Amino acid sequence: MNIAATPSTLREIADMPAPKGLPLFGNLFEIDLNHFHQVLERWADQLGPVYSFAIGPRRMVALADPEAMKRMFRERPDTFRRTRRLADALAEMRFTGVFSAEGETWRRQRKLVAMALNTAHLKSFYPSMRTTTERLLARWQRAARDGADVDLCADLMRYTVDVTTQLAFGIDFNTLETEGPVIQQKLDKVFPVLNSRINAVFPYWRHFRLPRDRQLDAALADIQVRVNAIIADVRARMAADPALYEAPTNFLEAIIAAKEAEGIEFSDDDIYGNVCTLLLAGEDTTANTIAWAVNFFIEQPALFARARAEADAVLGDSPVATDVDKAGDLPFIEAFYNETMRLKPVAPINAMEPLEDVELMGYRIPRGTVIMMLTRHMATDEARFGHAKTFDPDRWLREAPVAGCPHDTSAYVPFGTGPRFCPGRNLALLEIRTVLSMLCRNFDVRLAPGTPPVEEHLAFTMMPRNLTVRLTARTN
Ligand code: HEM
């Protein structure tokens, strides 16, 4: 709600509950950025659904109220936006794409991205995804045969990048079968630095470089070479087959065609930025979600057995789902990953800021104030989901509500919601179903011996740290 329409009895941010902090530093020393979401969730338990906190001189607001959060998600791009800090940090890396764009620029880019990732495309794309899944299967069969430890997130990122580049750019990187350095090892440098820059008290990197900034610079230079090569390849393909300008077959062809079309303005920077955006947006998110689900497979053998029974029945003799309908016909595995994303969403917090002074929960929030939305907190609230902290996939399978056991799916937004909800959702879900069914159809899985406890680690996305596993050919 615009402030002009609200009564003057609004309270100010200074009136909000707040964790005790130090003069000048605020709560800086209580915030470990790799566990930022957990700190914010703990404060919400102690202070309630809206409170403020400070990192140095910057005062921010944290919000755990479902209705207020949903309103913010909905009122984009006109009243709320992603934070300027995020947009600036991404722009400094030349990653200006649909994720950080705003206003008209966002609308134009969003249309192309949504079209490229829509369900009709996914159906015709599935044979390529199946081939990539068979490569992952072969990689894991080798590891099983050799008794080798598998760094699960790293292998899954090879998978997700291979899928994204094929679908969105029509290029088969095949990093799953590549020895030596691959682009993922460069992309890996981006999110941790982004996470620290958007929360930094002082933008030191604009004045001097620490070792990790220099590492990032080197990684960005490498990414630039590789991404420019992709764009050059696709341009050459289009020059050889001009019909692709009229009927582009993927996102990159579509944005290049739109750049050439009269009246539509995409710069070379827009093209470069969006290629990087899709690479990044599709990599960690899906890989980490699959990895969290595998961790639940390990922790819950009885549920793993049910997932396996379902995969056996649906996949039949094939080690990988043969078509998109089979991959879609896995209700228990679907409940399993829904429950995984409720408890271990890769985006447990989402940051936004208002474009004008607004009212939220009886407070006046000045334009530009960073608001951290605690979306996992809402999905693990007893008022929204019964036995909210328990991993229980069956809650997603009940046909009728159980008395005293709420199941409020509107409080479950792992892909965001509103006009900017994740356009990669259907692709991600297809990847998740295909890989999880392949894994339980073919392998037994356990933690590698000596692995320290698996823990949540936030580096822009939330990943399972220490998830090294041993895969063995299934025995039953
Ligand atoms: C399990 C996997 C994934 C999760 C949990 C996830 C989650 C999210 C979330 C929470 C947002 C912000 C939504 C909002 O602001 O309302 C988002 C945005 C976005 N995601 Fe995903 N994502 C996943 C996979 C993907 C994939 C595979 C792609 C594409 C290859 C993708 C592309 C994007 C893009 C382009 C945006 C920005 C949309 C915009 O601002 O209009 N994501 N995602």
Which residue has its alpha carbon closest to ligand 1 atom 6?
A: 415
Task: Give me ligand 1 centre to Cα 282, in Å.
Answer: 7
Which residue has its alpha carbon closest to ligand 1 atom 20?
A: 422
- Assess contact for 408 and 378: CB atoms under 8 A: no
pLDDT band at 442; cut points 50, 70, 90 = very high
- Model confidence pLDDT, tens digit, residues 47-76: 999 999 999 999 999 999 999 999 999 999
**What percent of the chain clears pLDDT 70, i.e. is strictly above it?**
97
Question: With 90 as the cut, is the pLDDT of residue 150 above it?
Answer: yes
Give the separation between CA 276 and CA 183, rounded to whole angstroms: 11
Task: Give me ligand 1 centre to Cα 281, in Å.
Answer: 6
Measured in degrees and rounded to the nearest 5, phi and psi for residue 462 equal: -100, 120
Q: Which atom of ligand 1 is nearest to the CA of 375?
A: 10
- Assess contact for 306 and 364: CB atoms under 8 A: no
The residues lining ligand 1, judged by C-beta closer than 6 Å to any ligand atom, are 73, 98-99, 110, 113, 164, 277-278, 281-282, 285-286, 289, 346-347, 414-418, 420-424, 427-428
| pLDDT for res 279 | 93
- Model confidence pLDDT, tens digit, residues 378-428: 999 999 999 999 999 999 999 888 888 999 999 999 999 999 999 999 999
Give the separation between CA 419 and CA 78, rounded to whole angstroms: 11
Q: What is the mean pLDDT of residues 203-208?
A: 96
Residues constituting the chain:
476
Q: How many CB atoms lie within 10 A of CB 124?
A: 10
Pocket test for ligand 1, best of 37, 255, 422, 429 (most atoms within 8 A of CB): 422
Question: With 90 as the cut, is the pLDDT of residue 332 above it?
Answer: yes
pLDDT band at 257; cut points 50, 70, 90 = confident
Q: What is the mean pLDDT of residues 331-349?
A: 98
Please report, for residues 88, 186, 202, 203, 335, the alpha-carbon distance to residue 208 in angstroms, rounded to integers and kept in the order given.
17, 21, 12, 9, 48
Q: Give me 189's structure tokens.
A: 């440098």
pLDDT band at 3; cut points 50, 70, 90 = low
Question: With 70 as the cut, is the pLDDT of residue 180 above it?
Answer: yes
Q: How many CB atoms lie within 10 A of CB 59?
A: 18
| pLDDT for res 181 | 80
Which residue has its alpha carbon closest to ligand 1 atom 7?
A: 415
| pLDDT for res 262 | 58
Contacts of 38 (CB under 8 A, 6+ apart): 456
- Model confidence pLDDT, tens digit, residues 79-101: 999 999 999 999 999 999 999 99
Which residue has its alpha carbon closest to ligand 1 atom 17?
A: 422
Q: Which atom of ligand 1 is nearest to the CA of 416?
A: 16
Task: Give me ligand 1 centre to Cα 423, in Å.
Answer: 6
Task: Give me ligand 1 centre to Cα 382, in Å.
Answer: 27
Helix axes of 119-146 and 425-442: crossing angle, nearest 10 degrees? 30
pLDDT band at 7; cut points 50, 70, 90 = low
Q: C-alpha angle 193/181/464, rounded to 5°? A: 50
Task: Give me ligand 1 centre to Cα 303, in Å.
Answer: 28
pLDDT band at 158; cut points 50, 70, 90 = very high
Measured in degrees and rounded to the nearest 5, phi and psi for residue 394 equal: -60, -20
Task: Give me ligand 1 centre to Cα 278, in Å.
Answer: 9
Please report, for residues 65, 322, 341, 379, 421, the alpha-carbon distance to residue 413 in angstroms, rounded to integers and kept in the order given.
13, 30, 9, 8, 9
Q: Give me 160's structure tokens.
A: 């997700």
Task: Give me ligand 1 centre to Cα 54, in Å.
Answer: 28
Which residue has its alpha carbon closest to ligand 1 atom 2?
A: 286
Give the separation between CA 135 and CA 129, rounded to whole angstroms: 10
| pLDDT for res 259 | 77
Q: Ranked by mean pLDDT, which of 1-10, 43-52, 248-257 comes out on top? A: 43-52
What value does the CA radius of gyration of the chain take, rounded to a whole number of Å? Answer: 23
Which pTM was predicted? 0.96
Pocket test for ligand 1, best of 350, 376, 415, 436 (most atoms within 8 A of CB): 415
Task: Give me ligand 1 centre to Cα 428, in Å.
Answer: 9
Task: Give me ligand 1 centre to Cα 422, in Å.
Answer: 4
| pLDDT for res 6 | 55
Task: Give me ligand 1 centre to Cα 472, in Å.
Answer: 33
Ordered strands of the 443-447 beta sheet = 149-151, 468-473, 443-447
Q: Which atom of ligand 1 is nearest to the CA of 428?
A: 27
Question: With 90 as the cut, is the pLDDT of residue 343 above it?
Answer: yes
Give the separation between CA 51 and CA 137, rounded to whole angstroms: 47
Q: Which atom of ligand 1 is nearest to the CA of 100?
A: 40
Instruction: Mark 177-215 as b/e (b = at least 16 C-beta within 10 Å).
Output: eeeeebbbebbbbbbbbbbbbbbbeeeebeeeeeeebee
Q: Which atom of ligand 1 is nearest to the CA of 347?
A: 10
Question: With 90 as the cut, is the pLDDT of residue 314 above it?
Answer: yes
Q: Which atom of ligand 1 is nearest to the CA of 413?
A: 10
Closest CA to 394 of 302, 456, 295, 321: 302
- Assess contact for 171 and 233: CB atoms under 8 A: yes
| pLDDT for res 2 | 53
Q: What is the mean pLDDT of residues 241-270?
A: 84
pLDDT band at 476; cut points 50, 70, 90 = confident
Task: Give me ligand 1 centre to Cα 419, in Å.
Answer: 12
Mean pLDDT, the chain, integer = 94
Q: Which atom of ligand 1 is nearest to the CA of 160?
A: 27
| pLDDT for res 258 | 83
pLDDT band at 4; cut points 50, 70, 90 = low
Task: Give me ligand 1 centre to Cα 317, in Å.
Answer: 34
pLDDT band at 11; cut points 50, 70, 90 = very high
